[in-house]
Structure 1
Amino acid sequence: MSTALLTDHYELTMLQSALKSGTADRRSVFELFPRRLPEGRRYGVVAGVGRALDAVERFRFDDESLAVLREHAVVDDATLDWLASYRFSGDITGYAEGEAYFPYSPLLMVESSFAEAVLLETLLLSIYNHDSAIASAASRMTLAAGDRPCIEMGSRRTHEEAAVACARAAYVAGFVSSSNLAARQRYGVPTTGTSAHSFTLLHDTEADAFRAQIASLGEGTTLLVDTYDVTDAVRLGVELAGPSLGAVRLDSGDLGVMARRVRRQLDSLGATGTKIVVTSDLDEYSIAALAAAPVDGYGVGTQLVTGSGHPTCGFVYKLVLREGDDGEMVPVAKKSKDKISIGGRKWALRRRDAAGVAEAEVIGIGEPPVDDGDDRALLVPLVRGGEIVGREPLDAARDRHAASRAELPLAAQQMSRGEPVLDTLHI
């Protein structure tokens, strides 16, 4: 399906004006970057790269798209003719998916003609702003959870298509599975799920509900035990499934207190291997608060799919280099108050000490910064000559995130509000 109309009207009117002025073919470099992190955050996480590459590949003005533009006179006939043969033929370089980022990190460098590059602005920003916000929140949640698994359960709290992207981004940032089956179909994200309160209420008794679930899904299933009385439900679950009952789920009340009570009860019943999973509007702070509780896993929904208070990253897409009348490339930059951009083509590396701990985000302007021997280059080729070259398995992004987060200073692990753990240096 074409992604060409997932864009703003003014991208096409700029194109029309540039075609008329003869500047549409000027060589240009656009940069996608954040001016700041969401308030109080210490690092961000790049996500959506794979989805963006798929979207760029499908960015074609097919007959249906052109008919809409023609019918509503969005652009003139000459522009429609140009759009009919549009194919991005330039280069895109950027941070790999799962990488940590900081203020002014050059997450994408898009190099082509002005006409080709400007049309991608809205689409790229839409994907990167959304997915990176989710991954950034998810990373804090998995950091707070430590070795305990987190399950993404937010599909019913957001747009149906956003839910799929959320599940993907959460998996990149360390969630072990999702409830969303479309995420499994499209991206291979592992899925899991058992039952809701409605299943228990469907049956005449809680025992009937548990008996039906165990018969269908086996003794290793997870029983939801807070529809009625938790203590009675836990006793009943172990009685029906035996001590090999897989897990119980708590979805209400004081989760820390309830988990301790349930753990004692399970142990007294001989179900020492039965796990306790908690849900109910969890975020990174409530997960951290449960660190000392006997909890074995977390199901996270609303707070994850809304970015835990920061549903967008504030990324922008700015022209930073363009061809002049003499054919030379000229750095350009926006200088308006509070919305400054820095002109010139960028390169980036993560400066690290001899022990491999990150010390700074170093951005070279016009040429790559010099690696002192312990540093790590951050920009990788994603598109070359219009051909996608940066696709990779989702697990590669997941592994990269774990490694990138592990090399950050210890302050990155703090849940309290603070400044970015790395300074960004332009050289």
Structure 2
Amino acid sequence: MNVGPGVGTALLTDHYELTMLQAALRDGTAARRSVFEVFARRLPRGRRYGVVAGVGRFLDAVERFAFGPAELEFLTSSGVVGEDTAAWLADFRFSGDVWGYAEGDCYFPDSPILRVEGSFGEAVVLETLALSIYNHDCAIAAAASRMARAAGDRPLIEMGSRRTHEAAAVAAARAAYLCGFATTSNLEAGRTYGVPTAGTAAHAFTLVHDDERAAFASQLAAAGKGTTLLVDTYDVPGAVRLAVELAGPELGAIRIDSGDLRVVAEAARAQLDELGATGTRIVVTGDLDEYAIAALAAAPVDGYGVGTSLVTGSGAPTASMVYKLVAREDASGTLQPVAKASPGKPSRGGRKQAHRRVEGGVATAELVTLSAEGLGPADRPLQVPLVRGGEIVGREPLTTARERHREALAELPPHALHLSKGDPALPTLFG
């Protein structure tokens, strides 16, 4: 299934959204001005902050959200919608407004990270699109942010494409780069989003040759002495010795993918130094997560490759975002707050504003209010215009969002960056 840029997104949705639309068109409520918000009632257990990601992908998807002849034929022939609803969908283009947290910023429980305003009909059909993008990308971004913090100044390579859905792999690489990863192995992420790509060779390359010497010689001839040689196919000390023999002290790096990484890295570092390859770096891979990376902080490691844990959110594969109607127009044309009161799943009515209180350069609270009354100069507005009158206005380079994430983390109190489990770093205050 191709869901990349340029491909229509209208059917990346749930059946019930069009069922609601059809009924609302018949009773007249589809035209009511409505406000929906996206938020998470809680962070994944033990996490201290969340990361807003997927904004750029959502804007691209909204722009391509249109029902062409093929989509309408499917919907009518399968009985999802009738001819009247199909006619409405044929002319559909989102014409409302969208506000949201800027990509790369942090969020906390109940932060209204996205606000969609328009008629009920045009806003309700965006629910699944918004949630599928934000839930995935925010989850990956939060894991990537924690890993980048654990790695410090050592670069991280995203290499999880083979551990997830092919489309999710591209989105995951984008989210990882947003939060501090240096490169990705995914070429589509490089083409589509400009994420720097990197890669050398797998064990299969060594195994297809008659011996390790032939494999190393071939890679060096093709990629130069600055390449990274994988040294744990057979015997690490023997491979390290052979690598330096063939490449000399100019060898760029070796990669270790198995064993006790700390012990093997320490032995390899000592051996490289003894052989005169003091500038050869050591990259480690193999089921790393933020905790394993932190545990290697004192090891002679120069970089990390992360796959499975990154693309699965390091144990939290979804951000648990919801898309809720919080206000709708009444008979007089006035927006009225609405909210559900389901046990365990309540929502707060009203069109909300969000600010972050920053005192002395340190964030102290997330403020969610129905008006700007009572806010002061230390309260930074968090929501920015993303779509205005159906026109995309919030696009920005991924590098801008990447820098914003650095700034957002620097603004948080120090305990927010601890890997140990804890409560959200900022309280959410309602007013």
Q: Smaller-chain TM-score range?
A: over 0.9
CA distance in 2, matches of 1:200, 1:19: 63
> Secondary structure of 1:242's match?
helix
- The alignment status of 1:331 with 2:337, answered yes or no, reads yes
The alignment status of 1:72 with 2:96, answered yes or no, reads no
Which of 182, 185, 188 is 2:188 aligned to?
Answer: 182
2:108 corresponding residue in structure 1: 102
Per-residue deviation at 1:185? 0.7
Partner of 1:91 in structure 2? 97
Between the aligned partners of 2:8 and 2:256, the Cα distance in structure 1 is 43
Measure the CA separation in 2 of the matches of 1:147 and 1:370.
41
State the shift of 1:191 in Å: 0.2
Please point out which of 285, 293, 316 is paired with 1:279.
Answer: 285
Matched, 1:363 2:368: yes
**Contact 1:37–1:313 (Cα < 8 Å) also in 2:** yes
Look up the SS of the partner of 2:428 in the other structure. Answer: strand
- Asked if the contact 1:362–1:369 (Cα under 8 Å) also holds between the matched residues in 2, the reply is no
Q: Give the structure 2 partner of residue 120 of structure 1.
A: 126
SS of equivalent to 1:294 = coil
5+ residue gaps, structure 1, are none
2:402 pairs, out of 382, 398, 403, with 398
Change (3 A) 1:213 1:27: same
- AA aligned to 1:357 is V
Residues 1:243 and 2:249 are matched in the alignment? yes
TM-score between the two structures when normalised by the length of structure 2: 0.98
SS at match of 1:280: coil
Candidates 352, 355, 366, aligned match of 1:349 = 355
Partner of 2:24: 18
1: CA distance, partners of 2:222 / 2:15: 52
Q: What is the deviation of 1:62? A: 0.5
Report the Cα distance in structure 2 between the residues aligned to 1:358 and 1:85, rounded to whole angstroms: 45
Matched ranges for 1:211-360 at <5 A: 211-354=217-360, 356-360=361-365
Q: Secondary structure at the match of 1:69?
A: helix
Flag structure 2 segments of 5+ consecutive residues without an equivalent. 1-6
What corresponds to 2:422 in structure 1? 418
Deviation at 1:2, TM superposition (A): 1.3
Alpha-carbon shift at residue 77 of structure 1 (Å): 1.1
**Shift in Å at residue 258 of structure 1?**
0.7
Total equivalences in the alignment: 425
Q: Give me the whole-angstrom Cα distance separating, in 1, the residues matched to 2:302 and 2:391.
A: 45
Amino acid at match of 1:168: R
Once residues 374 and 388 of structure 2 are traced to their aligned partners in structure 1, the CA distance between those partners, rounded to angstroms, is 24
- Which residue in 2 is equivalent to 1:45? 51
Determine helix, strand or coil for the equivalent of 2:168: helix
- Which residue does the alignment assign to 2:3? none
Deviations 1:17-36 (A, max 9, x none): 11111111001000011100
User: CA 1:12–1:130 in 2, change beyond 3 Å: closer, same or farther?
Assistant: same
Structure 1 counterpart SS, 2:31: coil
Give the corresponding residue for 2:4.
none
1:165 is paired with a residue of what secondary structure?
helix
Aligned-partner Cα distance in 1 for 2:167–2:286: 23
Q: Is the 8 A contact 1:180 1:191 kept in 2?
A: yes
CA distance in 2, matches of 1:130, 1:112: 25
The answer to whether the 8 Å contact 1:347/1:369 transfers is no
CA contact (8 A) 1:27 1:322 kept: yes
Deviations 1:131-170 (A, max 9, x none): 1100000000001101111110000000011100000010
Answer whether contact 1:226 1:251 (CA < 8 A) is retained: yes
CA distance in 2, matches of 1:415, 1:377: 28
Alpha-carbon distance in structure 2 between the residues aligned to 1:377 and 1:272: 49
Amino acid at match of 1:364: T
In the alignment, is residue 209 of structure 1 matched against residue 215 of structure 2? yes
Match of 2:172 among 166, 169, 179: 166
- State the alpha-carbon separation in 1 of the partners of residues 329 and 144 from structure 2: 41
Structure 1: how far apart are the matches of 2:362 and 2:105?
A: 15
Any runs of at least 4 consecutive aligned residues in structure 1 with deviations exceeding 3 A, and if so which? none
**Distance (whole Å) between structure 2 residues aligned to residue 340 and residue 369 of structure 1:** 25
Q: Deviations over 1:328-349 (max 9, x none)?
A: 1110001111111100001111
Say which SS state the counterpart of residue 125 (structure 1) adopts: helix
Larger CA deviation: 405-414 vs 388-397: 405-414
CA distance, structure 1, for counterparts of residue 18 and residue 417 of structure 2 = 44
- The Cα offsets for residues 275-308 of structure 1, whole Å up to 9 and x where unpaired, read as 0000000000000000110110000000000000
- What does residue 386 of structure 1 align with? 390
**Displacement of 1:385:** 0.2
C-alpha distance after superposition, 1:349-394 (max 9, x if no partner): 111112x1110101112x1354432332110000000000000001
Distance, in Å, in 1 between the alignment partners of 2:405 and 2:373 is: 23
Which amino acid letter does the alignment assign opposite residue 361 of structure 1? E
